[in-house]
Structure 1
């Protein structure tokens, strides 16, 4: 087959679909004919297009997960934990996440395969664990789509209007599905643009926040006023522990870069670890600094925050902070940024679910129908199912939308915890397998900065947070023990347990843990000539040593 000469160019959404087609017929055909044929099943083994660019990968790593967890969920965390509790909670989760991402960087550099998390778990731990983690991650993303759409409906309420917010939900729903039908080019460009907008907005907010705190507006000097009254902590240690799961949710999606490994246009050995390195800057600048400034501007006892009896759920703590300074127009502009962030996460949700369910189907852990990849490289059945589940977003038309938001957010946050724990476990098992088979670390194109110790820290932290969350779910802050509250906060653990035990019983393989000496350490590698790889890496290091100091500094930092 001969590819069209236009495939490498970036056109608009409709041309992107058409240009990925292959054709042997030189006779001109209509646009409609090409479009219709693009949805036909891809012949042979289904393959996703490797068209994601370096700039897209880096922006996905830097800002893909900035959404409702930070802009809206940060308000509920501030309400229950106070400014001090928020900083401690996010700091703990940030260190935990950095260890997880370093483990992931090493794994995707070695094995850039589709649906990496589930595939790694089945291959290096246990097929039943791979089934549980894979479906858990798929459910996480398929739930996130309606969650972000509900959050967008709540955000739209910031502007008084006679138009029912559900109308906007319908518009956003159609937009997200169309973007994903444009393939990974549409997804990559949408993520790139939204990431730039989010990053510029957060940097701008941080500069403005410093000005407001120092008394540069009509609100006067604020300083550390709210750290003295009402104080840094809302509910003591229990409040801080309650913040942990919100922090996990706000950083959820960071691991999405691992799913892009098989669709990267360049060499995953170099590009993915470099992209993942940017996670450190996201954590420090866009979370820790930003949340510290929010804590100076908004007291935890504000009746506008999410979770209070009279709160308006459409108002994020960022908008509240700007409003409290008496600045006109800017709150509306920032609310638009919040809306863009929510829609970007919704876009990622369809991508994440469709790629994960495809990987599960390829492993025989999901119905084979999900292996349907069309000629444009789109996993159509996964996109279709995500679209159907996304219809849950229309619950925003009911008065119980805040309750639904809380349920979906708690479920998603705990699902992320299991995913991160699995990444750490997989890395640890992979290193153990290499040692058992007498393989040297010089066969690895990238070594995690945190090493095996980081994987252990990630795994232990996962267990500790799960135990603490169990306690908080049994005895919630400010409330008596309640079965509804417990299952609302701990439903994710129940789902994983049911999947794991159910697969064990169905497969009748109660002890199927992969033996270290039998691990397949090579299938899926792009580089099997280890001697050549070592020479290439050594040449790259020598070139870097001979380069200018600022280039060396840039390489270390980015």
Structure 2
């Protein structure tokens, strides 16, 4: 797009789109038209019009960076890593989390590029509809919506388990489990009364607590590994003895593949920075910074902390599988074995805060995805209602009501509910990540094919198209690995056919769900894969910036002193 279009304000986008009915409209209330957005006109040209969106853009740089840094750190890391360590061994869990973390960096870099140039409502499903196939966009939209809808009661369930097995709460059900669910429902509802601002502020505070806790645990882990913790198990040098006795791997290749699903669940939510782009004040500059934070998160919060855990807790520790809730957490076990019961209780509290943080993210992710589906005509139009405070109130209420599924703790054991919901959610994430990578690949191809240059992008992924190719292929391999490990599960020799079928469907249900959505929309609407030349890579660009402005910013960045460049590269 040339600079001659920059700042123009022709007639409302809806009129421009009328001649070419397939182009997205800029919807919403004129009260929030405080920015400009690009649209592709009926004759194929590009115009810049006042942006009209009912969503308020009140998320700032600190919110987005903290959401990227640790917004989804929760049960996947603190609790889910326990069974992973038991089933796969220390080497398997470190290799898995490193591989999945590397893939996540590719995904978030791709998403950072897409979000910086096209900060549209719905992000993932919108990109899939515009750059792959409308039917795939439909499937990905509903898949992502269901993923977060499921996470909400899952986190409520885990919160109840955390409380019931914490030292500072009575375990005898004097306070019924349902009462705790109601309390958590009330807390999350109260936060969402404040719209996206409430989401951002709560995530900022919760992430700060989680980050400080993990850094503190890393310091403890280093000291304990060196034998510097007196009064407990770690008063002599530990080193990496657990990697030799009982060993680095457990259950062979199956044990290795088993961890992929939980690792995906542990990283789920990283992509929320892309969804939040539509409510971010300056996505062009904020999203690239947030994408860089993911590298720190992968290396420091996951790989380093888990590596230290594997030095302190052997995979054959019976508490990793025989306990309940946080008592299966290797982090809690390590602190308890060190004689730090007080710190173990503090960590339980942080786990509780983490579950509420992820529950809050679940309401945000599900409600904004449903809003985008409604705006695109992929869900009933009444769901597109946004009140004057910028809240998609109907979508939020539906998500909050669905959280009542957590009351299933009365009809089944908490662990059974946890397992079913985890299986559904974890695999759904793989589909979303693969779709983001494929959307980025095809966007890049269309961007260049239509005469644009990479220098015209507000921010380009440092890994380029090859990073997205790696991310897409890796996600496919993870799906294959999951299929393998649940067709022939660990311990299959002692399982009945019914047990094996139960395990398979419990963990692979997301696959037929996605395929049903895709094929149904494909057949009903007779959609096709979009060609590179017909893709619309401009509609939705907010405040399109001329190349000369971008070049000036890059020149200023190159002129910075070395220390400043290093800080900017990391943060």
- Tell me if TM exceeds 0.5: yes
Q: Report matched runs for 1:327-338 at 5 Å.
A: 327-338=340-351
1:406 maps onto 2:419 in alignment:
yes
What CA deviation, in whole Å up to 9, does each residue of 1:523-553 have, x standing for no partner?
0001435xxx322222222323333332222
Report the counterpart of residue 453 of structure 2 in structure 1: 440
SS in 2 for 1:389: helix
1:212 maps onto 2:224 in alignment:
yes
Report the counterpart of residue 289 of structure 2 in structure 1: 274
1:235 maps onto 2:251 in alignment:
yes
Structure 2: runs of 5 or more not aligned: 1-28, 32-50
SS in 1 for 2:537: coil
> Structure 1 residue aligned with 2:353, among 326, 333, 340?
340
Report the counterpart of residue 15 of structure 2 in structure 1: none
Report the counterpart of residue 296 of structure 1 in structure 2: 311
Report the counterpart of residue 557 of structure 1 in structure 2: 570
SS in 2 for 1:163: coil
SS in 1 for 2:271: helix
1:104 maps onto 2:117 in alignment:
no
Cα distance between partner residues in 1 of 2:480 and 2:272 = 26
Report the counterpart of residue 284 of structure 1 in structure 2: 299
> Please, which moves more after superposition, 133-142 or 473-482?
473-482
1:313 maps onto 2:325 in alignment:
yes
What CA deviation, in whole Å up to 9, does each residue of 1:186-224 have, x standing for no partner?
110000000000000000011111112221222222322
Cα distance between partner residues in 2 of 1:90 and 1:291 = 9
Q: Report matched runs for 1:29-428 at 5 Å.
A: 47-157=54-164, 158-159=166-167, 160-161=169-170, 162-217=174-229, 218=231, 219=233, 220-221=235-236, 222-265=238-281, 267-305=282-320, 308=321, 310-315=322-327, 316-428=329-441
1:399 deviates by 4.8
What CA deviation, in whole Å up to 9, does each residue of 1:496-533 have, x standing for no partner?
011101112222x0x5111211111110001435xxx3
CA contact (8 A) 2:456 2:550 kept: no
Cα distance between partner residues in 2 of 1:398 and 1:73 = 23
Report the counterpart of residue 507 of structure 2 in structure 1: 489
SS in 2 for 1:234: coil
CA contact (8 A) 1:46 1:372 kept: no
SS in 2 for 1:314: helix
1:45 deviates by 6.4
CA contact (8 A) 1:46 1:373 kept: no
> Please, which moves more after superposition, 111-120 or 160-169?
160-169
1:167 deviates by 2.0
CA contact (8 A) 1:414 1:492 kept: yes
SS in 2 for 1:254: coil
SS in 2 for 1:522: coil
Report the counterpart of residue 28 of structure 1 in structure 2: none
1:398 deviates by 4.5
What CA deviation, in whole Å up to 9, does each residue of 1:250-283 have, x standing for no partner?
0000000001111112x21111111111000000
Root-mean-square deviation (CA), in Å? 1.8
What CA deviation, in whole Å up to 9, does each residue of 1:130-149 have, x standing for no partner?
00000000000000000111
**Change beyond 3 A, Cα 1:231–1:94:** same
**Change beyond 3 A, Cα 1:107–1:45:** closer
Report the counterpart of residue 40 of structure 2 in structure 1: none
SS in 1 for 2:365: helix
1:46 deviates by 5.3
Cα distance between partner residues in 1 of 2:491 and 2:58 = 50
CA contact (8 A) 1:80 1:234 kept: yes
1:460 maps onto 2:473 in alignment:
yes
> Structure 2 residue aligned with 1:498, among 507, 516, 534?
516
What CA deviation, in whole Å up to 9, does each residue of 1:404-444 have, x standing for no partner?
10111111110000000000010011112123323222221
Could you state the TM-score of these two structures normalised by the residue count of structure 2? Answer: 0.87
1:87 deviates by 0.5
Structure 1: runs of 5 or more not aligned: 1-19, 23-43
Cα distance between partner residues in 1 of 2:211 and 2:409 = 28
CA contact (8 A) 2:292 2:569 kept: no
SS in 2 for 1:147: helix
Cα distance between partner residues in 2 of 1:554 and 1:211 = 28
Cα distance between partner residues in 1 of 2:542 and 2:457 = 12
CA contact (8 A) 1:46 1:371 kept: no
1:285 deviates by 0.2
CA contact (8 A) 1:358 1:382 kept: yes
Cα distance between partner residues in 2 of 1:528 and 1:285 = 36
Number of aligned positions between the proteins: 510
> Please, which moves more after superposition, 225-234 or 363-372?
225-234
Cα distance between partner residues in 1 of 2:293 and 2:219 = 21
